[in-house]
Amino acid sequence: MTLDQMKDKHIGKVGSEERDKYEFDLSLDILGETIKSVRKERKLTQEQLGSLVGVQKSQISKLERNAKNVTIETILKVFKALKTNIKFSIELNEFDFRTV
């Protein structure tokens, strides 16, 4: 059984509310882990990164653990402080104007 088949079976098919929430939460977890990994690669403490961004150490800690309640502005500041480039990908889903 493939990973996608397992997700379909246990979480829901692609496009279902449960699957979309799972994929969204997973992407936020990956974002937090990426920030933590780059911070460590740059040999910065959470306190040092917070100082560069203008936030408390506790906010960096929360961001690394759970990026759900953070603004895009903060994410951009963090990656700028880490001297990294960030690219956002926007994907348009099909939209039926008749259902609005």
Q: What is the pLDDT of residues 51-87, one digit of tens each?
A: 999 999 999 999 998 877 788 888 899 999 999 988 8
How many structural domains is the chain composed of? 1
Q: What is the CATH number of the domain that holds 77?
A: 1.10.260.40
Q: What angle (nearest 5°) sits at the alpha carbon of residue 34, between those of residues 33 and 37?
A: 85
Residue 1 resides in a domain: no
Residue 48 resides in a domain: yes
Residue 24 resides in a domain: yes
Q: What is the pLDDT of residue 79?
A: 93
pTM, entire model: 0.75
If you search the block for the tokens 């880490």, which residue do you land on? Answer: 82
Contact 54, 77 (CB under 8 A): yes
Mean pLDDT over each residue of the chain, to the nearest integer: 87
Closest CA to 42 of 89, 83, 95, 74: 83
